Amino acid sequence: MLCVALVALVLAGFAITVNFLASTRIYASLDDGLEAQANSIIASLPAGRLDESLIESSRPALEAEEAAGLLFQIRDSSGQVLYSSFRGSQDVLPPGGSLDQQAVYERKVAQQQLRLLHMPIDSASRGGSIEVGRPTKETDEALTEIRGTLLIGGLFALLLTSLPAYFIAGRALDPIREVSRVARRVERTSDFSQRLVERPTRDEIGELTATFNDLIGRIEQTLAAHSRFLAEASHELRRPLTILRTNLYILRDPDLPEGDRVACLERMTREASAMTRLVGDVLLLNRDRAQSLERAPVDFSRLCGEEAWRMQLAEPTASLQVQIATNLMVEGDAQRLQQVVRNLLENALNYSPQGGAVEVSLKKQNGRARLSVRDFGIGISTKELPKIFDRFYRGVEASRVHREGAGLGLSIVKYVVEGLGGDISVESRPNGATFVVELPMSQRSGKRLRDLLPVP
């Protein structure tokens, strides 16, 4: 029994260590994301001291940030709230109520637990502070899943090793000591790439080793995904922020010609809009599908037809060949489906030659609505096909042909389509590519599309 108790003690110590390290890393990543959101919102505000008139002039941009799902509020130097996207309560000051110190804390607001960052705006010309928040539900669920996996894996490993450890204590304790040593190295170095040497035999110790490696591998993947997401988002935000700062510096020149001043303001407006769209797309991809996608009957035929019509107006030299079956109703989110169709059409036109044809087909097949968008452009290499739906991924040839874009369009398409129970596939040829979206048909009658989407 002493051997079993020692094994249980080692596994418990490992689980606590891994849980502590994972919790620390995940919450650190969450806090970095809050700080990046705060800096993004501050950068989107025009120059000047924070007061009600400045906030009023920025209200459309702030409301767009709020519509994208950001939770934040802005205060002036006296602590008065100038703008807030919090619902239910604006009392989200940090413990102690200090406005001069940056603080991270948690508070329950409108029946949901939030992790909040209070950050003073460190500028003598602005003053004030900002609070940004994010629900902790997904983070807590991820940690709960890690703890459950550690618990189940630990119990399973304990069951496998208890009997052999009882009879062959010396031989059984050697691998356990190795687990403890690796766990201590992981704690000391925070290096989750370390693994135990796999045993050639599939005995109890081999199972323990495999379970340990699987657990630590999953934690490593989770932390790497968080780090990669923050790095890629920060990289994509750096360009518009740099352009905004550069143009602000140029606008300080009192002798700047009026034409150049107008051009700077237009350039800043475009970059601010691009940054708003990028933040909205990133937040959409980082939310749970069940919460971010609505379910309602959508006239998919009308939606596809109107998007093709809008695209033809925007690109009069393009040749859109449209074949759309009428009265195909799908179950989905009208706004997000509109984004799906728009992204596919823009993708096809961006990588087609000037005046090239794009074929758009919508029909009912096997009880599902099947949308096909085919272009005759540069195509996609076999090596790049598995990666085209990855966040922030852009192929080499695609980047050369069309420099603009953050590489989120197809990621959003996949996110929405699969979130609505559909499928997306792609087929590439030397002279173009074909994207196929299949969505389940709606069994309910619903509002017409003109009641669900604004039509210009």
Indicate the domain borders of the chain.
Answer: 291-452
pLDDT at position 454 is 38
* Single pTM value for the model: 0.44
Q: List C-alpha distances in Å: 170 to 124, 186, 207, 371, 434.
A: 68, 25, 18, 64, 62
**Cα separation, 143 vs 85, whole angstroms:** 27
Helix (H, G, I), strand (E, B) or coil at 75: strand
**Cα separation, 406 vs 392, whole angstroms:** 6
Q: Name which of 171, 246, 237 is nearest 203 in CA terms.
A: 171
Q: Name which of 34, 36, 52, 33 is nearest 44 in CA terms.
A: 36
C-beta atoms surrounding 126 within 10 Å: 19
Q: How many helices (H) and strands (E) does the chain have?
A: 13, 12
pLDDT at position 398 is 61
- Helix boundaries (H) for 88-203: 137-167, 169-189
Q: List C-alpha distances in Å: 413 to 39, 239, 336, 389.
A: 28, 24, 9, 8
pLDDT at position 401 is 55
pLDDT at position 182 is 79
Superfamily of domain 291-452: Histidine kinase-like ATPase, C-terminal domain (3.30.565.10)
pLDDT at position 329 is 92
In one-letter notation, the amino acid at residue 324 is: I
Radius of gyration of the chain (CA): 27
**Cα separation, 326 vs 54, whole angstroms:** 49
Beta strands in 239-326 (DSSP E): 296-299, 319-324
C-beta atoms surrounding 264 within 10 Å: 19
Per-position pLDDT tens, the chain of length 456: 665 677 778 778 887 888 888 888 888 888 888 888 888 888 888 877 888 888 888 888 888 887 777 888 888 877 788 888 877 666 676 776 677 788 888 888 777 788 888 888 876 666 788 888 888 888 888 888 888 888 888 777 777 766 565 555 566 567 777 777 777 777 777 777 777 777 666 677 677 777 777 887 777 776 765 666 666 566 566 667 777 888 888 888 888 888 888 888 888 887 787 677 667 666 666 665 555 678 889 999 999 999 899 888 888 877 888 899 988 999 888 888 988 998 898 888 887 877 778 889 999 998 899 999 998 887 787 777 777 777 666 665 565 655 555 667 788 888 888 888 899 998 888 788 899 999 998 876 544 443 334 333
Between strands 71-75 and 81-84, the pairing is: antiparallel
pLDDT at position 370 is 93
**Cα separation, 133 vs 451, whole angstroms:** 33
**Cα separation, 121 vs 102, whole angstroms:** 10
